[in-house]
Amino acid sequence: MAYPGFPFSTDDERSFVGHKEVLKYLQRFAEHYNLLQHIRFRERVIEVDILSPESANEHDQWNVTVRNEESGLVTTHQFDYVLICNGHYTEPKLSNIQGLDTFDGEVLHSHHYRSPSAYKNKIVLILGAGPSGVDIAADLIDDASKIYLSHNKKASPVISNKVEMVSGIERVDGKDIILRDGKIVNSDVILLATGYRYSFPFLAKTSHPVIQNGHVRSLYRHMVNINHPSLYYVGLSQAIASFPHFHAQTEFAAACISGEFMLPDGKEMMREYNGMYKKLVTDSGGLEKHYHHLKEYQWVYISELYNLLNREPPSKSLENLYYQVHKVRRASSLLFKQSQYKLSDNTQQGFIIIYEPPECQICA
C-alpha cells in the first residue's frame, strides 16, 4: 500500500507488485520530495551515544559516529533527536534444531532466498508458514520437484497440491529430517522462514533498549524511548500495512520534535506502555514475542496517533481493503496476488473489486 497522497504508477494495473516496482516507487517518492539531497549514501552508522550530561539541555542530545564506506573516514556529528529506522529484516532468527549441522544438503534462511531457478528439480523443505514461508513455497511451485511446508499451525494455508503440509522439525540426521509427529522426510534444501531479530548494533549501552522475547521494551506508542524521549523508533511493528503505518509514525515523531505535540512525562508514558502491553498480550492470552504484531489493532493505533495530534484519521477504505485481501489470501495463498482492486470514494467500502480469482471468491 502506498504512502498517502503518492500512489504507485498508474501504468501498472496490478495491485500486488514485485520488489523491483517497490524500489522504483521509493526512488520516485524520494525524487518527488527532493529527499536525495538530504541523504548521505555509503555512510555506515557505527555508534549512537548520549552526549555528556553537561552538554545536554532539557533532553538528551546525541553523538552519531559514521564511517564512509568508500574513503574509510570516520566522523562524529551532534543531533538533538535521533530516529531509528533500520527495519527488522536484517538479522535472521535461526532455529536451534538438533542435528542441523549434520544435514547433508543446503541450509539457508529466507533472507538469502533470491530466485526459484536455483532450486530446479530439488526437494525443498521450508520451515515456517508465515508470509515469507508461504510466498516462497508459492514461488517454488514451477521449479522445485517437491515442497514440504513444515509448521505447527492448527490451520494450514491453501497453496497447491504440490506443497505438502508437514509438522515442525524435531531433529535432523544427515539427509533425514525427523518431524515432531515422528514422520521422516528427505530433502535437498532446508529453507528457514523463521523470522528476524530486532537488532541495533550501533546503539551504545547507555541507550540500548532491553529486548526480551522479541519485544523491544519501554517504548511509548511502540516508538518513543521512555527513558530517552529524544530517541524514536519507526517501523518496529509487524503484520501491518507498512507504508501508511510508517507515514503515521513519522507524522507523530515530527509533531513531537517540532513542539506541536508535547509528550507526557515519563511516568505517564510508562503507564500507557504497560496498559498497551496488557491489552495486546496479557488480556488477549498472546505471547510476548507478538507484542509488536499489531494485525487488526494497527488501524486503531494509527487513529490514536492522529487523534493525539488533533488531526483527521485516514478513511476506512485502506482498512476495509486490508481485510478483503486477508480473506482472499486465506482462500488461496497461491492465487490471491492475481486480484486487482481500486480505491474509490463512490462505494461504501471505499474500494472496487476489479478482479478476484474464482478460487478466492469461495471463502471471501
User: Tens digit of pLDDT per residue, the chain (364 long)?
Assistant: 899 999 998 788 899 998 899 999 999 999 999 999 999 999 999 999 998 755 444 578 999 999 999 999 999 999 999 999 999 998 999 889 999 999 999 999 999 999 999 999 999 999 999 989 999 999 999 999 999 999 998 877 778 888 999 999 999 999 899 999 999 999 999 999 999 999 999 999 999 999 999 999 999 999 999 999 999 999 999 999 999 999 999 999 999 999 999 999 999 999 999 999 999 999 999 999 999 999 999 999 999 999 999 999 989 999 999 999 999 988 888 889 999 999 998 999 999 999 999 988 755 4
Q: What is the CB-side half-sphere exposure of residue 167 using CA atoms within 13 A?
A: 9
Angle at alpha carbon of residue 61, lines to 55 and 64, rounded to 5°: 110
Specify burial of residue 164 (Cβ count, 10 A radius: 0-12, 13-18, 19+).
middle
The answer to whether the beta carbons of residues 223 and 237 sit under 8 Å apart is: no
The Cα–Cα gap between 225 and 273 comes to 11
181-217: pLDDT as tens digits: 999 999 999 999 999 999 999 999 999 999 999 999 9
Specify burial of residue 206 (Cβ count, 10 A radius: 0-12, 13-18, 19+).
exposed
pLDDT at 334: 83
The Cα–Cα gap between 248 and 301 comes to 9
Query: Which pTM was predicted?
Result: 0.91
Cα Rg of the chain (Å, integer): 23
The bridge status of strand 340-343 relative to strand 351-355 is antiparallel
Task: State the average pLDDT for the chain.
Answer: 93
- DSSP line for 98-109: BTGGG-SSEEEE
The Cα–Cα gap between 36 and 122 comes to 43
Count the neighbouring beta carbons within 10 Å of the beta carbon of residue 194: 19
Specify burial of residue 333 (Cβ count, 10 A radius: 0-12, 13-18, 19+).
buried
